[in-house]
Structure 1
């Protein structure tokens, strides 16, 4: 399945191909060639030829939109047997997985090249931490900049929402192919090694091809936990400390590692995996306990191994690096604690006191993992204190680099991960709490009334007992945040405290709880400051504020607000809510963290995180950024350690810069200057959006023209596509399948609908270009919508819309698509979408015809399924299977799901 051949005879496509860097073109060509060889060897006669023919037709259709190539491609797809259609869909899906690898490798190659060219302390690129720190120092002074640095906090929160459409087996295979591809960049690789590499790559691609792309059964929450732990092993455990070291390099240059660090451990990892029970009956109290135990075991194993390795490296003789008094005291304390522990360390390291103590520390970490109460550390701070005793002794003995090298990175690890790895955050719907309280008042009467509970009352109570047991075993930070979905009143938070007391037999037994309101709908965002005023009167919250130094979190949901009012009005509503909540916090002397519930799709707050941070209202960031990282976003941002490091640096730089006086002033002035523009965009886009989704019969029409109903059949997560409280209308559909379905239909409506009509009503190109140049929020909105539009295809969209019987609704969608595209091009002064983003734009342009091929296959399946009773059951089963394969392929091709 070659890639170069795809561009011959096409000026547009050839030009696009030649703007792709040569190394990336070579990688795509190599991977496509190897996949073609696998298809040829597979034994299915004519498979490769059919794949090539379909690919050539969809490419021709893109190059000549007025020709008949797309119709010919559609005819070819319809002529395939059910088996052949499935194999062709699998082939294109595999191609996208490989093409994505090539793009990732290009990013890594670019990062390495840039890193090799720029000295450690040079302020490049402009979005680097070095640049941000220098800029901040100029504005507020060096001392204030260093003080602010100590307050810096980045909190990524992993979620297992059903948006990662790949099986773990496929993900592992792709990772191995990526490692082999990376090896080929080594200039030392000889002919024999290169041949071996190619052979191993071919073997892995063959394995990937022969691996079933569809899961047989849903992953359990604990399966999802294991996936997250894989990210810890492959990325987080190393990358986070590398980020600290890089920052210290920028701050201290060559002195980094030879003295006390200036870089703080600014990352704290959170997780909703096996903690988020909103709409997921598979997440129980027992599952939550097991998840925390697995994470704790994994991080303690890492800390034990790291401690032992540091200890083994400290072969410093006491004659040349004498121990200080505190180290000797610590060793004597260990001898009293356990003769076995110290005897073993002393026998292996005579005359090496620092090594002896470190090996004893490793033994205590092992005891902590094994729950040996006599030797275990009770809290992470005890371990940190012991490590710092070793560090200080080394430093005073003249071994500065031993003190602040690997040992410092171990200390950073403990500060970051503790003994729990990631804080497990519990989330539950406010209605579940009110139902449970009603049930507790009269259990028999509740059941006799015929009312049904979304979650059994005893399970709700058991959740609080699980939190208490987790804190008792692993510490308060292992699980103390409790998020209330659909917070609409102060009573919603009060219910949580009441339930906790009932579950544990009184207030004296209740664990530490930071109860966090989650504002999700448009109306709730509008009412957030009023609700927060009421919440502030709660005595439990007041007591907690006193304990934390008046620190508090508020969460904002990006998904449901967008589904309520459309992407434009939701973006503006979220900005306004953040602005008002930040002002509320200042007024009430609260140090506030705004927690952003973003998804991967642009309709759910997706897009580059650093640009989003820089566009936030004044005082809404204040050196703290907390955000959900969902599904395929985790793999994209953190799957490759080098890309993960770059992502962290961009987020941190943006978080520092967003809190700079000049940034806050710019954003505030721009918001005031373009307030009238924002109001018009809000009102007109909202009216346009409601005109579509509020039309009679919209919900069944939406189910007809997209694979929305079939998304629920795709086994990609433990969480259902719909909440269990009620499933009677579009309002009850989760935002993830709402976005996923529109993306699959190549319409991406959730990312742009309503903008075009709003801009048309303004009809002032110069004003809009000024806003694009001067107002970061507007620029981020337009740039994100441009990306969303670039992944649409009007001709394919027309075919999906034709599946329905509402020409009026189809016309609304296509008209809005056209007018939105027109205005985005006018504002950005481009002839085509992503014209100014050369590599990204060409990459999207090159992959679109391949996505088109899968879309045509998906359309075939949908037409069969929509035919209903006229098709035989086997035909319907074949169509369902084909559809599910195509869903995964299109998701891989578009590089996002929900």
Structure 2
């Protein structure tokens, strides 16, 4: 292992040692000895020592209830500390990652120069660059906010320890602080005692902006500007903002009855309060800094003749921001505000204009060095975050809009809209959208569900344009789904055009999306209002759950390609919105590789992508990590537009069509076609117990009485990840590849591996998934938890898994070693397995004990089970 990774190993060992000290003090040396014995047995079991494995099983199957919680907590905490050390490693001063460095903006600019790509073309592409990250509160973040804060503090300590010139006293002081933080984490309950509300989730999202992104965005732009200056002789304009944030927290009501119109309104208030608070910090610092007397005559004429003109302007802003805080404090507390909207800041321009005038006055007075400090950072924050901190997306499921309109048509005597044909629906909607009279009767009292839909539209109508970024329709299937939402927004009095975004999620919907959008674009009223701009969302989670990874990813590719071609033909600016999750089964992949595997031209209007749950923390949770993430995104988008991937050959498409069809059949034959599958799934995984884990505000099922089809994609993936079979991420894919190879297509498939980024990324992702599976552990779950008559199903799935691993290794030419080209990832997984294995074994033990008497509540066993779930999630590094 190289020097840089030995530093990381030392950090992991040091954190583990401090955890051991904490456990010894908290639980006694006997408990620490038990934990250490389990760890050593687990390590030897992993190394193939069968005697150690049997001894490990014997200890864990007879462990007392009193000892279970400290043991599961110890292994879970260690995995969290390993994650902290690994995350820190990416930004450590000792760290040099050749792979990351070749993906950076600086490296891309060098390559563009070497390939003689014209400077003008590069500059134009930079000026069109847009990275819009949409922070979502899907229940994948299993780490509590209070523990996240301690982990950030641990990172800071690791940073301080890197300095070579520390005195013994300084080093001891930092190590003492580390020990305190680890002790605080030990004495903090890992499991939330109550499920978070949507308002809590929004607070979590705003905390990420405050603690990380507020610092990271201006720093990233400074880095981008420095590279553009070095390689292109070009400086980024002050008002250019290639980074934007939106949020689903408090706006995503799809299947979440707890997100109401009132919640949305309060989250919007909170966002404005938080933005005012953050800008107040900036403005106070500028009051302290800008004591300069010299300014332009124009500045003095506009803002008055003051001895310290800039300071005077900043003080005026400070007063207004303090008023703004008081105003939204009152609204959040349900009080009548003391101030009016005249006294506060409600629009970006109110901050932007005085700051921008100050900036240009300083430049004109030859004080560029001062202008380009905090003042420039503040200007960029106004452009990126604005006075609303982030923009809010609204999302709702299509049938609820249909039901609401049907309720209206029934009441006014037009019949049942829901039962009309698509043509009749469209004709009605276009007529009403073009009409100047209202549709809603005045004294009508709608049902609670319809009232909630209408109230949400009224909240949107109360917001200035731009505060709500778009209205997303999940499970969109028809043109009337989109037109129906436009009608509801019109009836609520929304005075501007709000983008309404169809989300195509299932295999059938992805295949039909071009037809649906063609129908929409053929509607004269619709073309008239969209101003030749359209956003479409591609769903990764539900399509993979519906059809398996291989079929879903090809359907997503084809859908994007057909939409790009359609919009190009009609002169419509298309933005594709990627609903990706963290795991492979939900569209996850390293960001750079995933973006470069998109169809050509699909990123020309920028990237809009969801960042979910714990992936927000891993990729954006620390300022330095967030800067790297934004750099990777920017580099990949620019590369995809300037050095686009190849169009797939006809032969490649043909093979992908075959792989898609056969993998989908194999996947559905197991998941839908085998009568034993659902009972097997329910007993071989902790799926039923997952519902008890208070992860997010949203219920685990759309329909509490439904089967697997009603289960959300997140718990579906989460459950299979727990028992280490990772089924949704590979089922059907490897077998379809094998079938194709046996039909004589190996040479073409190998060509696809080497020359087509889309296909290469799929194979790489399969390899990553396989490296996290574990056949022995999966079999252990079956033997302890599944009825004997269902064992054959697990056995056949594991045999398929082994055959698929062999196929992928053969294709990638790596012999017998998964991830051999990324040795550190392989090493990292091996390191974690030593700590994750005991958690898996204890989870089986706990499930067995709890299921023996399901009527009997045992809070200690239930808590221990929840900790194993969060610990395994930490060990696997991506939950849902």
State the TM-score, normalized to the length of structure 1. 0.88
SS at match of 2:37: helix
Q: Tell me if structure 2 keeps the 8 A contact 1:77–1:856.
A: yes
Q: Tell me if structure 2 keeps the 8 A contact 1:152–1:266.
A: yes
In structure 1, the residue matched to 2:830 is 845
Q: Tell me if structure 2 keeps the 8 A contact 1:61–1:70.
A: yes
Q: Tell me if structure 2 keeps the 8 A contact 1:727–1:733.
A: no
SS at match of 1:31: helix
| Correspondence for 1:798 among 768, 774, 779 | 779
In structure 2, the residue matched to 1:14 is none
CA deviation map 1:339-364 (0-9, x unaligned):
xxxxxxx5xxx3x3233334334444
| Correspondence for 2:526 among 538, 541, 565 | 541
**Alignment pair present for 1:177 and 2:159:** no
**Alignment pair present for 1:704 and 2:678:** no
Q: For 2:412 and 2:126, how far apart are their aligned partners in 1? A: 57
Q: CA deviation at 1:675?
A: 1.8
Q: For 1:590 and 1:133, how far apart are their aligned partners in 2? A: 30
**Alignment pair present for 1:211 and 2:188:** yes
In structure 2, the residue matched to 1:108 is 91
Q: For 1:240 and 1:602, how far apart are their aligned partners in 2? A: 28
| Correspondence for 2:768 among 787, 791, 799 | 787
Q: For 1:194 and 1:256, how far apart are their aligned partners in 2? A: 44
Q: For 1:254 and 1:595, how far apart are their aligned partners in 2? A: 31
In structure 2, the residue matched to 1:555 is 537
CA deviation map 1:201-226 (0-9, x unaligned):
11221121111111111111111111
In structure 2, the residue matched to 1:572 is 554
Q: For 1:648 and 1:260, how far apart are their aligned partners in 2? A: 16
Q: For 1:255 and 1:514, how far apart are their aligned partners in 2? A: 36
User: Which range moved further: 400-409 or 94-103?
Assistant: 400-409
CA deviation map 1:245-280 (0-9, x unaligned):
1011111249999x8747932111000000000011
Q: For 2:253 and 2:525, how far apart are their aligned partners in 1? A: 23
Counterparts in 2 of 1:455 and 1:256: CA distance versus 1, 3 Å: farther
Structural mapping, 1:292-371, within 5 Å: 292-318=268-294, 323-332=295-304, 346=306, 350=307, 352-369=308-325, 370=327
Q: For 1:501 and 1:407, how far apart are their aligned partners in 2? A: 41
Q: CA deviation at 1:41?
A: 1.1
| Correspondence for 1:479 among 465, 468, 474 | 468
In structure 1, the residue matched to 2:612 is 630
Q: For 1:390 and 1:397, how far apart are their aligned partners in 2? A: 11
Q: CA deviation at 1:419?
A: 1.0
Q: Tell me if structure 2 keeps the 8 A contact 1:248–1:256.
A: no
Q: CA deviation at 1:486?
A: 0.3
Counterparts in 2 of 1:139 and 1:855: CA distance versus 1, 3 Å: same
Q: Tell me if structure 1 keeps the 8 A contact 2:238–2:380.
A: no
SS at match of 2:102: coil
SS at match of 2:831: helix
| Correspondence for 1:425 among 371, 379, 393 | 393
Q: For 1:576 and 1:881, how far apart are their aligned partners in 2? A: 45
**Alignment pair present for 1:82 and 2:65:** yes
| Correspondence for 1:530 among 511, 515, 520 | 515
CA deviation map 1:646-680 (0-9, x unaligned):
111011000011112x424x2x0x45342232122
SS at match of 1:42: helix
In structure 1, the residue matched to 2:432 is none
How many residue pairs are counted as aligned between the two chains?
Answer: 830
| Correspondence for 1:457 among 436, 442, 450 | 450
| Correspondence for 2:81 among 98, 108, 112 | 98
SS at match of 1:64: coil
Counterparts in 2 of 1:361 and 1:880: CA distance versus 1, 3 Å: closer
CA deviation map 1:94-144 (0-9, x unaligned):
11111111112221115x6559xx9xxxx9932111333454565651112
Q: For 1:20 and 1:408, how far apart are their aligned partners in 2? A: 35
CA deviation map 1:41-89 (0-9, x unaligned):
1134621111112111221111116x23323211111111112112111
**Alignment pair present for 1:713 and 2:706:** no
**Alignment pair present for 1:514 and 2:493:** no
Q: CA deviation at 1:590?
A: 0.8
**Alignment pair present for 1:650 and 2:632:** yes
| Correspondence for 1:244 among 192, 212, 221 | 221
**Alignment pair present for 1:147 and 2:103:** no
Q: For 1:593 and 1:573, how far apart are their aligned partners in 2? A: 18
User: Which range moved further: 774-783 or 395-404?
Assistant: 395-404
| Correspondence for 1:676 among 654, 660, 664 | 654
Query: Structure 1: which 5+ runs fail to align?
Result: 1-16, 336-345
**Alignment pair present for 1:272 and 2:256:** no
Q: Tell me if structure 2 keeps the 8 A contact 1:243–1:649.
A: yes
CA deviation map 1:502-531 (0-9, x unaligned):
344xxxx54542100000000000000001
SS at match of 1:279: coil
Q: For 1:390 and 1:219, how far apart are their aligned partners in 2? A: 43
In structure 2, the residue matched to 1:688 is 666
Q: CA deviation at 1:732?
A: 0.7
CA deviation map 1:755-793 (0-9, x unaligned):
221121122554433222111011111111111111111
Q: Tell me if structure 2 keeps the 8 A contact 1:744–1:891.
A: yes
Q: Tell me if structure 2 keeps the 8 A contact 1:494–1:538.
A: no
SS at match of 1:717: coil
SS at match of 1:166: coil
Q: CA deviation at 1:588?
A: 1.4
Question: In angstroms, what is the RMSD of aligned CA positions?
Answer: 2.7
Counterparts in 2 of 1:133 and 1:544: CA distance versus 1, 3 Å: farther
In structure 1, the residue matched to 2:428 is none
Q: For 2:82 and 2:76, how far apart are their aligned partners in 1? A: 10
Q: For 1:816 and 1:881, how far apart are their aligned partners in 2? A: 34
In structure 1, the residue matched to 2:38 is 54
Counterparts in 2 of 1:64 and 1:136: CA distance versus 1, 3 Å: same
Q: For 2:188 and 2:255, how far apart are their aligned partners in 1? A: 31
Counterparts in 2 of 1:19 and 1:380: CA distance versus 1, 3 Å: closer
Counterparts in 2 of 1:378 and 1:84: CA distance versus 1, 3 Å: closer
Q: CA deviation at 1:535?
A: 2.0
Q: Tell me if structure 2 keeps the 8 A contact 1:312–1:359.
A: no
Q: For 1:634 and 1:187, how far apart are their aligned partners in 2? A: 32
In structure 1, the residue matched to 2:483 is 494
State the TM-score, normalized to the length of structure 2. 0.90
Q: Tell me if structure 1 keeps the 8 A contact 2:41–2:53.
A: yes
Q: CA deviation at 1:718?
A: 0.6
Structural mapping, 1:795-834, within 5 Å: 795-802=776-783, 803-805=785-787, 806-830=790-814, 831-834=816-819
In structure 2, the residue matched to 1:6 is none
Q: Tell me if structure 1 keeps the 8 A contact 2:119–2:232.
A: no
SS at match of 1:68: helix
| Correspondence for 2:706 among 724, 728, 751 | 728
SS at match of 1:268: strand
In structure 2, the residue matched to 1:43 is 27
Structural mapping, 1:757-768, within 5 Å: 757-763=735-741, 765-768=746-749
Q: For 2:3 and 2:802, how far apart are their aligned partners in 1? A: 27
CA deviation map 1:358-413 (0-9, x unaligned):
43344444445546533545521343233222222222222222233322221111
Q: For 1:853 and 1:312, how far apart are their aligned partners in 2? A: 55
